Structure 1
């Protein structure tokens, strides 16, 4: 697929999409989550790109919604669908559905909808969906205890680009490698030349590093799973609540995640925890151990009577001796006990093993002094050994855990994507259930128009279960008459809504619907007041385009006569209807000038009427379903008729005869 052939995808966007594993699949499937993983592409833009790609795939020119009012109806449909989604992803994903004249696209969506409406929206599933988000790629982590080494300048450049998490060093020989091993816990040599070289320290020769990046930097995989833990666990809960078969063993997945901390480091390993605490607590433990020795020695000195003969004291002074000499001579055993106590405290406080304890014992000892001092070089050596052991242990655990999670990465991507797509399906199912929808039937015969039985619009400002059902069908060009507030506009809205939904491939809010597959929907809402000359001319130009087009269009117009004087309006509307009739288009024009228009038209214009049954306490009682071939009475006529019934003068009867 030539990505740049799709509207809205330039070279820069195509380059970004090319970084995905299978951008063509994602585009065809409308997979907004995957498309949004491309650099610089948000979910909103991903939805627009997916919609453009689907149009391209099905040869749709995007011209079905031919007017702003038609677009408004479509937006209302999207709003109803989005209101029934849980995740932000699903809210963007429904935007990839659009009305079209493409048979293949409509059939494709109908197949999706057929599966979706079988879904039963369960509260447990909806609750679990609240925690699902598309997987995100965390920024690269910086790994300071490990480095890469190479003798090749070109490989050095490649490694810097491939492994931004690690330092890359150039070495000349094995001696340079050995020097690096003294500075890093682990050195990964990229050159096969180093195979078999005996170097002290953790040095690994991995010429295959570029083919196995997750083994070289296991932190990558761990960071992905740590950053997406909540979403992954929520997706697992969605599958369980919905009774769906997951793409991986969920117990194994949860077990692996339990061994991963929120910062992407291994968790739950007692030995690693011990080493981490030992490194962190070393300075404090050494200071406390020093205090233990000094407290013990101080108590020993306080409790001991030391006698020095005069000649001995003089000798010590003449020799410039310090208290150390006196300790060595008089309190050697007490000093040894104090040092032993310090060593034991340090070993116990840090929970050191036998080898580590041997290094710890070197921190205290040597010639007796008071106060007892620790040997900083021994502390540094112990810290180096503990840090190396910690880092090497952590890396082994990271590699093991990364290896397990790497095997789960693709299934987990599917797990989360399926959960997000389930949200889309459930939104469609909830829509169909909330509005008692049915699957419309497309009729290929010429001039089929539309036929709606029991249609109810969810766009009205009343509860859906209180909406009166409407039966209405039109073949060809028709005028729709009726009383004010009788439901003419809401009938047009219902027709537009049904057609938009049907040509999206969606079920419609009606008991049954048959309709043509229209090429375009032209919907013109009622104009607010008489237009000035410029606006009037612009409106007429719009209708020139309406009457100059394909025959399989649907045109819905609400009270066009309001744009100018009634007499002129009737003639203009009659002319438009004549042109549409000659085309064989399907059209419904709402008008209070049905008689005048019919008189001005050069053909027998069909007129339907929404009939008011009467007035009850000043309110109209209306049959919301238009009556075929019937010019509906106006509200003034009904009022005059009511007055004539109680009039003894005959005045209102004479007025009634004027209608």
Structure 2
């Protein structure tokens, strides 16, 4: 895949994508999480890039949604899907699912959606998904207690590039190594020439160190796992709750994570914890030991009478002696006991082993002083020893843990990706279940065989008791079900518009099918616009490759969707001209188009509107497009058209308590009665009933109107 050919991808983005391990795989798979790991690319940007790559892969012009209203319907149904995601990733990933005219793309998503419909959105899975996020790359890791050493300048440059986490030092000989060993806990010599040299400290000769940097800097992989501990653990829980086949050994991964602290250090090792605590508490413990010695010594002085002969005192003063000499002479045993107590306290407080204890005891001298003070040099040596031992043990444990986790890294990535992709599938499954969806059937000749095969394996998710496919439908009691494959534009059975702000059970199912060009008539507030929204949402979802909210749907594969919403008032001359030009372009090249128009007559005065609409319908009919025009002027348009225009009607059964009672499914080849006609008919009926009650007459004095007046008005509608 030529990255520069992806729509919306420039040179800078190409350079960023090139840093991915396998950019082509990520782009072809729409792997938003992987793409978002490229430098400077956000998750939202990654979704747009993935969408562009998919378009390129399927040679998709990306212009299926041809009007603002069509795009608005797409955003509305997409929002319904995104609302049913748990993770931000899944919401962004759904942005890569868009309506397409390309058969290959539709089939690709249908296969994915068919598998998604098999998923049960168990609450335990959804809860576990709340902790899953795309993995973060570890930031800059800097290790200060370890360094690399070499005598070669070229090797030096290579080491700095391969292992930026460590300092790299140039030395001339073994003496240089020895000096480094006094400043670092571990020195790793890269030159073979140092083999066999014995030096104090932890000096390792490893000429192959740059071949496997993770062994030299285990902090690198450990940092990755430490930053992603919670995300990985959540992904593990998702796999267990959903029964997914894991891409790695879950127990081994959990064991490794349990031994890893949040800061990337090894956790759970008692000896390492002891050494770490000893280093951290050394100063406090030394101060406490001083206090122990001084408290003991003060108490001894208080309890003991010290007698000094005058000649002895004079002698001591002449020699410049002070309190220390007096302590040495008179309180030598007490001082020794106090110092020993200080030493014991320091050893016990830090839980030192025998070798460490010998160093610790040097922190308090046998020479009497008051107050007793620690020897800072001895404390410093103890700190160096403890730190060196700690770092050596930590390094070994890190290497062991890094080795255990190294083989899990790719599997861990796949584990999280699979959990995130499951959220995408569950969103589709939840949408399908909540809106009682089924997979649509495309009937154009090239897609018919593939779609029929897909429909056999797709579960419409109408609850666990209805998991089997519902295509083809067993219903054949309506016009839509009996349309031939060659004639069908779209045929919807039991459809419920997801765009209605009503509970699903409150929405009356609609059956409607159109082949060719059709006018849709009906009473005000009878459901004409919601029927158009149903058709648009079904067509958009079908061309996204997703299930649709209906019992059964059959449709052709359209090149584009032109949905024109009802105009708000008459257009001015410029806007009117623009609208007519748009329909002129559509009439010339709209053979594979679906055109949905809501009351186009509102763009100008009624007489002119009927003529213009009739002309547009003629052109669309000649071009082989599929079109539904809602109009209150169906009769006038039909008279002006030079071909037999099909007129369907959403029929009002009548008025009940002042409210329309409507059959929401359009009746084929039927011009629906208008609301005014129904009201006049209601008034005529009531007037006749009043006249019958009054003995066949009606007068102005009794508040009744002559039924003949209403009958005369009704005749005008015939």
TM-score (norm 1): 0.98
Matched, 1:537 2:577: yes
CA deviation vs aligned residue, 1:239-290 (integer Å, no higher than 9, x gap): 1111223222322222221211111111111111111111111111111212
Aligned to 1:548, the other structure's residue is in SS state: helix
Q: Is the 8 A contact 2:149 2:168 kept in 1?
A: yes
Q: Distance in 1 between matches of 2:435 and 2:326?
A: 99
The separation in 2 between residues aligned to 1:159 and 1:484, in whole angstroms, is 79
Partner of 2:348, secondary structure, is: helix
User: Equivalents in 1 of 2:621, 2:236: separation in Å?
Assistant: 58
**Map of 1:322-471 to 2, 5 A cutoff?**
322-444=322-444, 446-471=486-511
Structure 2 residue 512 is the aligned partner of structure 1 residue 472: yes
Residue in structure 2 matched with residue 525 of structure 1 by the alignment: 565
Distance apart, 1:471 and its partner CA: 0.8
Task: Output the CA distance in 2 between the equivalents of 1:599 and 1:159.
Answer: 86
User: Relative to structure 2, which stretch is displaced further, 86-95 or 371-380?
Assistant: 371-380
The 5 Å alignment of 1:475-490 reads 475-490=515-530
Q: 2:158 corresponds to which residue?
A: 158
2:31 equivalent in structure 1: 31
**Matched-pair contact (CA < 8 Å) for 1:47–1:96:** yes
Which residue of the other structure, out of 603, 608, 625, is the alignment partner of 1:563?
Answer: 603
* Distance in 2 separating the partners of 1:587 and 1:211: 67
3-state DSSP class of the match of 1:547? helix
User: Aligned partners of 2:222, 2:114: CA distance in 1, in Å?
Assistant: 39
Q: Per-residue CA shift, 1:294-331, capped at 9, x if unaligned?
A: 22222223323333333322222222222323322332
Whole-angstrom CA distance in 2 between matches of 1:448 and 1:629: 16
Relative to structure 1, the CA distance from residue 209 to residue 5 in structure 2 (aligned partners, 3 Å threshold; closer, same or farther) is farther
Q: CA deviation at 1:196?
A: 2.9
* Structure 2 residue aligned with 1:294: 294
Separation (CA, whole Å) in 2 of partners of 1:432 and 1:272: 54
CA-atom RMSD, angstroms? 1.5
Query: 2:346–2:360: 8 Å Cα contact kept in structure 1?
Result: yes
Note closer, same or farther for the CA distance 1:373–1:461 as it changes in structure 2 (3 Å cut). Answer: closer
Which residue in the other structure is 1:650 paired with? 708
Q: CA offsets, 1:3-41, max 9 Å, x none? A: 111111222212211211111111111111111111111
Q: Could you tell which deviates more after superposition, 294-303 or 218-227?
A: 294-303
Structure 2 residue ranges without an equivalent (≥5): 446-485, 688-705
Query: In the alignment, is the contact (CA less than 8 A) between 1:181 and 1:203 conserved in 2?
Result: yes
User: Is the contact between residue 498 and residue 537 of structure 2 (CA under 8 Å) also seen in structure 1?
Assistant: no
CA distance in 2, matches of 1:414, 1:311: 90
Aligned to 2:142: 142
Partner of 1:69: 69
Name 2:698's counterpart in structure 1: none
1:552 corresponds to which of 571, 587, 592: 592
Please give the alpha-carbon distance, in whole angstroms, between the structure 2 residues aligned to 1:129 and 1:217: 33
**In structure 2, how many angstroms separate the alpha carbons of the residues matched to 1:485 and 1:155?**
81
Deviates more, 1:582-591 or 1:542-551: 542-551
In structure 2, what is the equivalent of residue 308 of structure 1?
308
- TM-fit CA distance, 1:550: 4.1
Asked whether the 8 Å contact 2:634–2:647 carries over to 1, the reply is yes
Kept in 2, the 8 Å contact 1:151–1:170? The answer is yes
The CA deviation string for residues 500-546 of structure 1, in whole angstroms up to 9 with x for no partner, is 11111111111111110111111111100000111111111211221
Matches within 5 A, 1:605-620: 605-620=645-660
The 8 Å contact of residues 524 and 557 in structure 1, kept in 2 or not, is answered as yes
629-638 vs 388-397, greater mean Cα deviation = 388-397
For 2:545 and 2:399, how far apart are their aligned partners in 1?
A: 48
Count of matched residue pairs: 659
Q: Is the 8 A contact 1:343 1:364 kept in 2?
A: yes
* Runs of at least 5 residues in structure 1 that lack an aligned partner in the other structure: none
Contact 1:290-1:372 at 8 Å conserved across structures: yes
Task: Give 3-state SS (helix, strand or coil) of 2:589's partner.
Answer: coil
Cα distance, 1:206 vs structure 2: 2.9
How does the TM-score come out when normalised to structure 2?
A: 0.90
Which residue, 534, 547, 561 being the options, matches 1:494? Answer: 534
2:624 to 563, 581, 584: 584
Point out the more displaced range, 510-519 or 8-17: 8-17
Q: Deviations over 1:111-144 (max 9, x none)?
A: 1111110111101111111111110113212211
Q: Match for residue 321 of structure 1? A: 321
| Runs (4+) off by over 6 Å | none
Q: Take 2:227 and 2:21, find their aligned partners in 1: how far apart are those partners?
A: 21
Q: In the TM superposition, what is the alpha-carbon distance from 1:223 to its structure 2 partner?
A: 1.6
Conserved? CA contact 1:447–1:516, under 8 Å: no
Rounded to whole Å, the distance in 2 between the matches of 1:293 and 1:478 is: 104
How is 1:35-74 mapped onto 2 (pairs within 5 angstroms)? 35-74=35-74
8 Å CA contact retained: 1:447, 1:586: no
Contact 1:488 1:610 in 2 (8 A): yes
